[in-house]
């Protein structure tokens, strides 16, 4: 009994972790299902059919491709713009600092449904068409703040004496930035880019307000499927995504551990 | 990936202290800021103005809208959808409290007790966050379905009766109920709670808690007067990052709820994209924004964390 008491915290922590991971386990198990009806909610029998043919349902891989393209472009643009803002905030004194911080903070304090619908009203009033371009604009907007925060945390922790040392050794500002500052800030930038990609790739609510019938992203495909019938391929792709995410996160951990040991 | 965790962990801390004076010329920061801030101004601030303007217009999607300054739309919006608005705040608050109660022990364990398991636990917390949350919410439909193991177990131990008695479910099932929606919301935003908690607990010096013990504080007192106050920045950031998206969410209420659990996001979505009543939808959206901003600023002031904007 006292052993249980001593490990109560560990049990609580594991129970919460279980709660967080059980949907992923269910998704993986049901990717091997062969459902009777259109919905893949009841276990029927084991089958690897969907794994052999992950694109076997019309539209699914097209939507996945669109989400990947939007995610890559949106995270690239948001990372470049966000990193610039983060350097300004972390490395310079200037007037309008508080206003800048507020503008960066606001999109994170606004519910997605408000951002999505307000962009819709902008595009309607400007007569801009909804679709891939509108989605891209929206994604860059809401990813930007998260990149700024991720990169700023890193930039703020850099030792300014390293840059001064480079300058003392005769490096010009561009050389100092390219050879010293940027490599040191790289982990923060990579983290920001990864976060931006995952936010963009996974967004449904904002995307939904700015999409057209010809721009169905993967989350929109899944949402549509939840009312039409869920193909097993959704679970296969969900499982593959989980495994890739696991791989990326583990690689990141190993890299940052190695960095720490080297340093 | 520790860097991801710290990155995701402080979306709200913008750092109070300005960096030291630099020798560079003073147009550089403005040049760096310009593209990003321009983007946010054009695609975040301006839309808020067009949203407000849209709410005061009359007309239809086909014939176009004209600005009439119809303030009455706000009375109509509040009268028609007050229950949904209130419900959204209630569900989001419940999910936030639940996420704090669930997230704190896990974050505490990871930060202070996990030892060499720390990194593995961190990976397991972050990884689901990178996988489609719609697919994971659909998985809850399977987990909570009427004949699932979870539902059968809940029936066997009398949990379904209890939930029905307190009004969280309407029958002896778990799906399509208040209970399922709040469970889903809690689940969905739990990582947003855990990561800020983890990062503020990780920076906590364990010697402070030991010192409290040396001064004859009981473990409970040590937690109450040392650990908890020092983790407050994480608590504030985590609760905001859970509450704000949860209040506007409509995925969970739509996939896991019923007609009695409709949240305000669901109404805004339907009014904009199906009913095509743009002014009413815009008014509701604006009301939600103002309500959240009021709640958040009152909360931040009360919590008094200087790390926040």
Contact B244 A109 (CB under 8 A): yes
- Whole-number Å distance between alpha carbons of B309 and B303: 12
Domain membership of residue B8 (yes or no) is no
Q: Is residue B1 part of a domain?
A: no
Domain enclosing residue B95, as ranges: 83-276
Contact B126, B4 (CB under 8 A): yes
Q: Is residue A163 part of a domain?
A: yes
Residue B194 in 3-state DSSP? Answer: helix
- Give the pLDDT confidence score for residue B209 in this predicted structure: 87
What token pair was written down for B24? 């560079």
What is the predicted ipTM? 0.91
Cα distances (Å, whole numbers) of residue A116 to B84, B133, B251, B260, B286: 19, 18, 14, 25, 12
Residue B47 placed within a domain: no
Contacts with A205 (C-beta within 8 Å, 6 or more apart), sequence order: A112, A113, A116, B248, B249, B250, B251, B265, B269
Domains contained in chain A, number:
1
Q: Which residues of B touch A146 (CB under 8 A)?
A: 8, 11
Please report the residues numbered 186 through 225 in chain A whose beta carbons come closer than 8 angstroms to any beta carbon of chain B.
187-188, 190-192, 194-195, 198, 201-202, 204-205, 208-209, 218-219, 222-223
How many angstroms separate the CA atoms of A61 and B181, rounded?
Answer: 30
Q: Which residues of chain A have pLDDT under 50?
A: none
In a domain, A220, yes or no: yes
Q: Give the residue numbers spanning the domain of A129.
A: 58-230
- Predicted confidence at residue B132, as pLDDT, reads 87
Query: What are the structure tokens assigned to B98, written together?
Result: 């639940």
In a domain, B27, yes or no: no
Query: The pTM is what?
Result: 0.89
Residue B7 falls inside a structural domain: no
Q: Is residue A147 part of a domain?
A: yes
Residue A73: count other Cβ atoms within 10 Å of its Cβ: 15
In a domain, B102, yes or no: yes
Total number of domains in chain B: 1
Establish if B31 belongs to a structural domain: no
| Helix and strand element counts for chain B (H, E) | 15, 2
Residues B249-287 pLDDT 10s = 999 999 999 999 999 999 999 999 999 999 999 999 999
* Closest residue to B14, CB basis, from A41, A105, A195: A105
**CATH number of domain containing A77:** 1.10.3720.10
What is chain A's percent helix, strand, coil content, to nearest 5? 80, 0, 20
We report the CATH number of the domain holding residue B128 as: 1.10.3720.10
- Tokens (6 digits) for A33: 């299902």
Q: What is the pLDDT, as a whole number, of residue B201?
A: 94
**pLDDT value at position A258?**
81
Regions of chain B where pLDDT drops below 50: 1-16, 306-309
Residues of B in contact with A97 (CB under 8 A): 18
Between B125, B135, B293, which is nearest A222 by CB? B135
Q: Is residue B50 part of a domain?
A: no
């Amino acid at each position: 009994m006292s052993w249980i008491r001593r490990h109560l915290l560990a049990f609580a922590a594991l129970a919460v972790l279980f709660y967080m991971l059980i949907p992923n386990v269910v998704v993986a198990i049901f990717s091997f299902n062969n459902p009777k009806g259109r919905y893949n909610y009841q276990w029927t029998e084991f089958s690897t059919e969907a794994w052999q043919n992950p694109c076997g349902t019309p539209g699914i891989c097209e939507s996945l491709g669109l989400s990947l393209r939007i995610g890559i472009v949106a995270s690239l643009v948001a990372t470049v713009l966000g990193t610039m803002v983060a350097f300004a905030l972390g490395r310079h004194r200037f007037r309008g600092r508080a206003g800048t911080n507020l503008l960066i903070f606001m999109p994170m304090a606004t519910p997605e449904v408000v951002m999505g619908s307000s962009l819709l009203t902008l595009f309607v009033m400007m007569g801009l068409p909804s679709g891939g371009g509108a989605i891209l604009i929206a994604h860059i907007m809401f990813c930007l703040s998260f990149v700024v925060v991720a990169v700023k945390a890193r930039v703020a922790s850099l030792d300014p004496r390293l840059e001064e040392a480079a300058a003392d050794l005769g490096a010009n500002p561009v050389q100092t930035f390219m050879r010293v500052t940027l490599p040191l800030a790289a982990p923060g930038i990579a983290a920001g880019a990864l976060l931006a990609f995952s936010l963009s790739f996974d967004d449904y609510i904002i995307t939904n307000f700015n999409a057209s019938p010809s721009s169905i992203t993967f989350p929109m495909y899944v949402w549509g499927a939840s009312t039409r019938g869920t193909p097993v391929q959704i679970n296969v792709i969900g499982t593959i995504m989980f495994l890739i995410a696991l791989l990326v996160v583990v690689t990141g951990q190993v890299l940052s551990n190695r960095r720490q040991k080297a340093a | 990936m520790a860097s991801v965790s710290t990155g995701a962990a402080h979306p709200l801390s913008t750092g109070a202290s300005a960096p030291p004076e630099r020798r560079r010329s003073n147009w550089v920061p403005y040049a760096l800021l310009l593209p990003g801030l321009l983007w946010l101004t054009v695609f975040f601030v301006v839309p808020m103005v067009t949203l407000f303007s849209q709410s005061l217009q009359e007309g239809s999607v086909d014939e176009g809208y004209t600005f009439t300054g119809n303030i009455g739309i706000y009375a109509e919006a509040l009268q028609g959808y007050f229950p949904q608005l209130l419900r959204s705040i209630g569900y989001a608050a419940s999910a936030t409290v639940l996420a704090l109660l669930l997230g704190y022990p896990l974050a505490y364990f990871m930060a202070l007790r996990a030892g060499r398991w720390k990194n593995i636990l961190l990976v397991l917390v972050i990884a689901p966050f990178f996988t489609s949350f719609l697919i994971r919410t659909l998985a809850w439909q399977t987990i909570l379905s009427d004949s699932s193991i979870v539902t059968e177990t809940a029936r066997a131990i009398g949990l379904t009766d209890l939930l029905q008695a307190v009004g969280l479910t309407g029958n002896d099932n778990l799906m399509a109920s208040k209970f399922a929606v709040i469970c889903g919301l809690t689940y969905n935003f739990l990582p947003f709670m855990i990561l800020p908690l983890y990062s503020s607990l990780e920076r906590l010096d364990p010697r402070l808690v030991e010192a409290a013990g040396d001064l004859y504080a009981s473990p409970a007192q040590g937690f109450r007067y040392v650990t908890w106050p020092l983790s407050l920045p994480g608590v504030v950031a985590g609760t905001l990052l859970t509450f704000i998206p949860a209040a506007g969410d409509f995925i969970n209420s739509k996939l896991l709820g019923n007609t009695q659990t409709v949240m305000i996001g669901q109404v805004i979505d339907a009014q904009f994209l199906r009913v095509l009543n743009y002014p009413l939808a815009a008014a509701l959206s604006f009301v939600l924004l103002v309500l959240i901003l009021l709640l958040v600023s009152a909360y931040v002031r009360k919590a008094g964390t200087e790390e926040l904007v």
